[in-house]
Structure 1
Amino acid sequence: MRIGYVVATATPFEFVATLDPERPVSLYDYVVVDHVELDNASGELVNVSLLGQIVKLYRDPYSVKRDLPLYTVIQEVSSNILEVQIAKVKVLGYVLNGELRQPKQPPRIGSPVYLAENEQIAELFKVENGLCVGKLASRDVAVCLDINGIRRHLAVIAATGSGKTWFSVVLIEELLRRGAKIVVIDPHGEYVAIKDSIHRLGPFTARVVKVSKHHVGDLMYKIGVLDSDPEALANAAGVPPGAKKIRYAIYLAWSYAKKVRKATGEKVGLAFMKRVLYTAMRGENALQKLFQQYKGINDGAHKAEGDFPLSDLKQLAAKDRHAIFSALTYLKKLSRLGVFSSRSTPLSKLLGDITIINLAGVNEEVQDYVVSHLVNRLFQARVNHVRGLKGYQLPWPIVLFVEEAHRFAPPKALRKTRSYEALSRVASEGRKFGAYLVIISQRPSKVDPDIISQCQSQVIMRIVNPKDQEAVRESSELLAQEFLENLPGLDVGEAVVLGPIVKLPVVIKVRDRVLEYGGSDIDLTTAWKVDKTADVAQMWRRIFNSPPPPSVMLSASRMRLLHKKREGNKIVIKLLDGDREVDVVIEGGSPRCSVCGVGKPCSHVYKALEEALEVV
């Protein structure tokens, strides 16, 4: 169908067309222009269909100068003003011998512009075994992403409420169907609901690993305190950076515990560190007795590994018991979290087809510690497998979803996190070892630009904040200025997709999801709805001088309202009780049931009182 003509600024990359104002065309829709190109293989001119996408659309009055007519003039001649519809079209290329090629010549001025057929567009985005996440925003044409594009990492960026978590869940569904193994870093427990709905997708295993014992999870994630360093422990415990004596006390307890484990093989951990500090609180003699139990760890073969400063701990115990007491208090705080143990939870127990790391319930320091610890272990397990090294080997590539990525990988100048180093390593080296990132954030300006720039594929949904728009522009070489300008105008669930994951930048509408998640906004109408139970009970007491029996309330809950209305000073309510219709009339505060009679405390009356509260 012809919709316009090429009129200006025709280059091999874009052109301006005038469109029929009576034929509505959507932004991001696809058009075709008849074109002639030189086939390099044959050396002959060939007729091709040049495909383009509308990236800007506006209407203007024809030949009206800057000084527009007054309102009174317009009112008289408005029906006679000539209107033109102008479209800026980005040239996508033409298909020749099954390949998408870029034109070397611009389309001719005056060439007819046609609306592209669905089959032409579908051929353009055809992908074998793709990730089918939705359809074109302008057409009912499915769009499937190239699964191999995940190897270059992916960033999902959107303002709050634009649908980024929805898209992430849809992407998880598609990856699971293709056999991927997924780990989700979930700061708020939004993805936990996936476990209860995974059966809808197929026979997949979903595991929820919790960090706080008070939250939902199949098992706890445990970190061996001696597998890391004492500075990180102090940070996780909340020790102020300037509290050097407290930090040194933790370091001494940690160092001695590590010496003991190495010398004896005992599974010592946080409990042993607390024991060391508690003993130090009791004085130098008590501390000496503890040392005697592990006599020899600084002698002989172990001396070459570095002597433990026993004298420093004794000196601290003698001169600054307050620092030891404070350190002990902080370690008790770590114990209550339940995360730290004598040894880390084996990766083999954690991983299923999808593993959700539920970080809800702990502070950001602990979340940072856990993410750093887990990501490093996963990456090293992949390195071990690829290079045949000792240690736990992860035999299949893994996709790591990082929700709220700005928490864990902020710009280095803004804040330093432990998890930044782990995520940066995966971003720069992960593709060689089969460890891939999906970075998800509503604030791209607060995610480290080095990490975001490593995500060569991007899914960008509605963004309003100018700083975030600028961060997106700087991180993406493929995002055209027209797409950037239109980001605030995207509807919820619409996204610009670009990078190796698609053949060409495309605007999609995300499909419906199968799996559940808990990240949707709260419905305030429901959340603030008045609890009718107390009001109905009060009305019941006023009528029958006694509380409503539980059996009456239970029977009422099984009934269904057919209709209700107000007639003067009385309310008429029709109910369905099983297969029987029941009428209840409430007049002057006195109920009358068509089945049970006047003034009877029946379940029909209770249900009618519930409904009467909402009659306008």
Structure 2
Amino acid sequence: MRIGYVVATATPFEFVATLDPEKPISLYDYVVVDHVEYDPGRGEHVSARLLGQIVKLYRDPYSAKRDLPLYSVIRDVSENILEVQIAVVKVLGYAEGGELRQPKQPPRIGASVYLAEDADVEELFRVENGLCVGRLASRDVEICLDLNGVKRHIAVIAATGSGKTWFSVVLIEELLKKGAKIVVIDPHGEYVPIRDSIHRLGPYTARVVKVAEHHVGDLMYKIGVLDSDPEALANAAGVPPGAKKIRYAIYLAWSYAKKVKKAVGRPVGLAFLRRVLYTAMRGEGALNKLFQQYRLEGDFPMSDLKQLASKDRHAVFSALTYLKRLQRLGVFAPRSTPLAKMLGDITIVNLAGVNEEVQDYVVAHLVNRLFQARVRHVRGLRGVKLPWPVVLFVEEAHRFAPPKSLRKTRSYEALSRVASEGRKFGAYLVAITQRPSKVDPDIISQCQSQVIMRIVNPRDQEAVRESSELLAQEFLENLPGLDVGEAVVLGPLVRLPVVLKVRDRVLEYGGGDIDLAEAWRVDKTADVAQLWRRLYNSAPGPGVMLSAARLKVVQKLREGGRIKVKLLEGDREVEVVVEDGRPTCSVCGAGRPCHHVYKALEEVVEVL
């Protein structure tokens, strides 16, 4: 279908076309132009169909003079004014021998411009074994990303609420279908619901590793106290950087524990470090007995610990307090959690519930272990090995890898190593952030594939432009105008930069915006409470309401006067049937005031 003509600024890279204002044409759509290209090999001109993408689109009144007030012009000539539609088209190339070649000559002025056929566009983005994450924003054509593009790392960049977590979950789904092993660094527990919905995708294993005891998880992530250095331990405990004596007390206890481990052949934990400091508080005699118990010799500065305990008991006491606080977290233990115990098809590391220092420590520790396990496997070295490549998703990457000039984190070094060397060893990074200007530019630049969604902040736009050699100015200018769920994808994941609409997801995730109208609806709560009293002659208890809040509604069906509500409680499905105003729970039976019934009543109270 012919939609216009080439009219100006024709170069081998772009041209300006005038388009039929009545035709349904949209930004980012694809067009073709009949073109003649000189072939040096044949020594003659050959015909080709030049493929292009509309990167700017605007309308203009043709007869309006620029030196007149526009209102006067429109008022006088509104019936006869000519409207023109102008498009700036970026030249993508022409197909030859299954490849897309860049023309050396511009299209002719006056050449016809046609809307590209779906088949031409599909061929442009066809890949084998692709990750099918969505469809073109401009037309109904499926877009699949090149699986091998993951090897060059990916950055997912978007303003809050633009759909970056949605895209990340869709990418996780596609990678799982290809057999990938995935580890998600999750600062707020947003990805935890994946575990309970993984059965929808297929027979995959999903494990949640938690850091705080009171948060959701299948097992705790433990860090061996002696696996790292005492400075990092003091940072994790929250010891102020200037508290030199407190830090030195922790160092002395840690150093002694290290020697004890070597002597007795078994690891020790925070309890032993606290025992050393507590013994020092009791005096030199008690400390000598402890030293004699293990009969250690060497360069351990025993006298320094005695001197510190006698001259600055406050520092030792403060160190004890910090270590007690650290022990209460439950993260540090004599031994680290084995990788084999925690890894599944997808492992979600739920960091919610601990401070940023501990989060930083955990991420650095885990990423280093994963990377070293891959290095051992590839090089055939001794030690714990990881026999398959791993994709590491890091949500809120700006927390863990900020610019070195802004602040230093332990996890920066680990993530930087994955970004720079991971490709050789099968450790791939997906960095997700809403603030690219606050992520170290060296790490962002190592992510050669980028998925960029709506960005409004000018500093973040500038950071994206500096990190990407492939993002053209016209795409950068249009970033604030992207709809929620639309993304510009560029780099090794695609043959050409593409604007796509992310498909619907299968897996669940948390962390979406709260619906305030729903959250603050007291009338619904009151209606449920009134109905509950009518059924059970008592008010619903706080425990029932809190337990109900943890349930998820899977399905709600109405069959005549009968309503079925399917709920998900962990891995178990529960069905509540409400008939003639009376609920029956498939687990607790009829007439029982259980939390399943309360959740079902919340869903059906408006129709009862």
Name the % identity: 82
Residue 343 (structure 1) aligned to one of 335, 338, 346: 335
Q: Deviations for 1:273-332, whole angstroms, at most 9, x for unmatched residues?
A: 01000101111110110001011x21xxxx4xxx10000001011111110000000000
Cα separation, 1, equivalents of 2:178 and 2:606 = 50
CA deviation map 1:442-479 (0-9, x unaligned): 00000000100000000000000000000000000000
Any idea what the Cα deviations from partners look like across 1:345-377, whole Å, max 9, x if unmatched? 111111111110000000000000000000000
Hey, what does 1:550 align to over in structure 2? 536
The match for 1:590 is none
Q: Which amino acid is the alignment partner of residue 224 of structure 1?
A: G
Whether the aligned pair in 2 keeps the contact of 1:559 and 1:577 (CA below 8 Å) is no
Q: 1:456 aligns with which of 443, 448, 452?
A: 448
**Aligned partners of 2:249 and 2:48: how far apart in 1?**
77
Looking at structure 2, the residues matched to 314 and 473 of structure 1 have their Cα atoms a distance apart, in angstroms, of 58
1:438 aligned residue? 430
The CA deviation at 1:551 is 6.6
| Whole-angstrom CA distance in 2 between matches of 1:138 and 1:349 | 46
Q: Paired residue for 2:87?
A: 87
1:141 equivalent to 2:127? Answer no
Provide the rounded CA distance (Å) in 2 between the counterparts of 1:252 and 1:351.
Answer: 35
C-alpha deviation, 1:160, in angstroms: 0.3
Aligned to 1:132, the other structure's residue is in SS state strand
TM-aligned CA distance change 1:172 to 1:319, over 3 Å? same
Which of 330, 352, 359 in structure 2 is aligned with 1:367?
Answer: 359
Partner of 2:598: none
Give the greater-gyration-radius structure (CA).
Answer: 1
- Once the two structures are superposed, residues 168-187 of structure 1 have per-residue CA deviations (whole angstroms, 9 ceiling, x without a partner) of 00000000101111000000
**1:164-203 alignment, distance < 5 Å:** 164-203=164-203
8 Å Cα contact 2:55-2:87 kept in structure 1: yes
Post-superposition offset of 1:68: 2.8
Contact 1:559 1:578 in 2 (8 A): no
Cα deviations across residues 11-36 of structure 1 (Å, max 9, x unaligned)?
10000001111113100000000011
Distance verdict in 2 for CA 1:561–1:411, change over 3 Å: farther
* CA 502–320 in structure 1, closer or farther in 2 if over 3 Å, else same: same
Which whole-Å CA distance do the structure 2 matches of 1:612 and 1:404 have between them?
Answer: 42
**Offset at residue 382 of structure 1 (A):** 0.6
SS of the equivalent of 2:480 reads: helix
Matches within 5 A, 1:47-58: 47-58=47-58
SS at match of 1:250: helix
Tell me the amino acid that sits aligned with residue 435 of structure 1. A
Equivalent residue for 1:396? 388
1:417 aligns with 2:404: no
| Runs of 5+ consecutive residues of structure 2 not aligned to the other structure | 541-555, 562-576, 582-600
3-state DSSP of counterpart to 1:507:
strand
Counterpart position of 2:98: 98
Other-structure match for 2:418? 426
Residue identity opposite 1:191 in structure 2: Y
Amino acid across the alignment from 2:211 = V
Closer/same/farther in 2, CA of residues 38 and 423 from structure 1, 3 Å limit: same
1:470 is aligned to 462
CA separation of 1:401/1:260 partners in 2, compared to 1, >3 Å: closer, same or farther?
Answer: same
Where 1:26 maps in the other structure, the secondary structure is coil
- 376-385 or 37-46: bigger deviation: 37-46
| C-alpha spacing 1:559/1:195, structure 2 compared with 1 (3 Å) | closer
- 1:153: how far off? 0.5
Q: Which residue of 1 aligns with 2:498?
A: 506
- 1:487 maps to 479
> 1:586 is matched with which residue?
none
Question: Aligned-pair distance for 1:552?
Answer: 9.8
Give 3-state SS (helix, strand or coil) of 2:450's partner.
Answer: strand
- 1:508 aligned counterpart, secondary structure: strand
For 2:130, give the aligned amino acid. Answer: G
Distance in 1 between residues matched to 2:605 and 2:118, nearest whole Å: 53
- Return the alpha-carbon distance in structure 1 between the equivalents of residues 384 and 40 of structure 2: 54
Seen in structure 2, the aligned counterparts of structure 1 residues 610 and 58 have a Cα distance that, compared at 3 Å, is closer
SS of aligned partner of 1:372: helix
Whole-Å Cα distance in 1 between the matches of residues 46 and 607 of structure 2?
Answer: 76
- Decide whether aligned partners of structure 1 residues 132 and 560 sit closer, same or farther in structure 2, where only a CA change above 3 A counts: closer
1:46/1:116 CA distance change after superposition, 3 Å: same
Residues 64, 259 of structure 1: CA spacing in aligned structure 2 closer, same or farther, 3 A cutoff? same
**Distance change >3 Å, CA 511–CA 279, structure 1 → 2:** same
2:372 counterpart of 1:380: yes
Question: What is the identity, as a one-letter code, of the residue corresponding to 1:380?
Answer: Q
CA deviations over 1:408-463 (Å, ceiling 9, x no partner): 00000111000000000111111011111000000000000010000000000000
Counterpart of 1:447, as a letter, is: V
1:320 aligns with 2:312: yes
Correspondences of 1:16-415 after superposition (within 5 Å): 16-69=16-69, 71-295=71-295, 297-298=296-297, 303=298, 307-415=299-407
**Do the aligned partners of 1:464 and 1:487 also contact (CA within 8 Å) in 2?**
yes
Counterpart-to-counterpart distance in 1, 2:528 and 2:372: 62
Task: Give, as a single letter, the amino acid of the residue that structure 1 aligns with 2:193.
Answer: A
Stretches of structure 1 that go unaligned for 5 or more consecutive residues are 541-546, 563-575, 581-605
Distance 1:171 1:308, change over 3 A: same
By how many angstroms is 1:84 displaced? 1.0
SS at structure 2 position matched to 1:258: helix
1:612 and 1:149 map into 2 onto residues whose CA distance is 51
> Deviations 1:103-158 (Å, cap 9, x if unpaired)?
11100000000000000000000000000000100010011100111111000000
Displacement of 1:524 after TM fit?
Answer: 1.0
Alignment partners' CA distance in 2, 1:137 and 1:429:
35
Instruction: Show structure 1 runs of 4+ deviating over 6 A.
Output: 535-540, 551-554, 557-562
Distance 1:201 1:561 in 2: 32
Matches of 1:231 and 1:577, distance apart in 2:
60
Q: 2:238 and 2:78 mapped to 1: Cα distance? A: 70
Q: Determine if contact 2:529/2:539 at 8 Å carries over to the other structure.
A: no
Alignment partner, residue 567 of structure 1: none
Task: Show the counterpart of 2:564.
Answer: none
8 Å CA contact 2:63, 2:81 repeated in 1? no
AA aligned opposite 2:506: V
Q: How far apart are residue 523 of structure 1 and its match?
A: 1.2
The residue type equivalent to 2:481 in the other structure is: G
| Residue identity in the other structure for 1:290 | L
User: In the aligned structure 1, how far is the partner of 2:140 from the partner of 2:129?
Assistant: 20
SS at match of 2:78: helix
Normalized against structure 2, the TM-score is what?
A: 0.88
Partners in 2 of 1:518 and 1:539 — Cα distance? 30
Q: Is this contact kept in 2: 1:558–1:577, CA < 8 A?
A: no
TM-superposed CA distance for 1:203, in Å, is 0.9
Shift of 1:612: 11
Residue 480 of structure 2 aligns with an amino acid whose one-letter code is P
Is the CA contact 2:161–2:484 (under 8 Å) kept in the aligned structure 1? yes
The verdict on how the C-alpha distance between 1:72 and 1:61 changes in structure 2, with shifts beyond 3 A counting, is: closer
Equivalent residue letter for 1:105? Q
AA partner of residue 233 (structure 2): L
CA contact (8 A) 2:184 2:349 kept: yes
Coordinate RMSD, CA, aligned:
2.4
CA distance in 1, matches of 2:191, 2:130: 24
How far, CA to CA, are the matches of 1:533 and 1:55 in structure 2?
Answer: 50
Deviations 1:218-266 (A, max 9, x none): 1100000101000000000000000000000000000000011012213
Look up the equivalent residue of 1:506 and give its one-letter code.
V
Pair 229,119 (structure 1): closer, same or farther in 2 beyond 3 Å: same
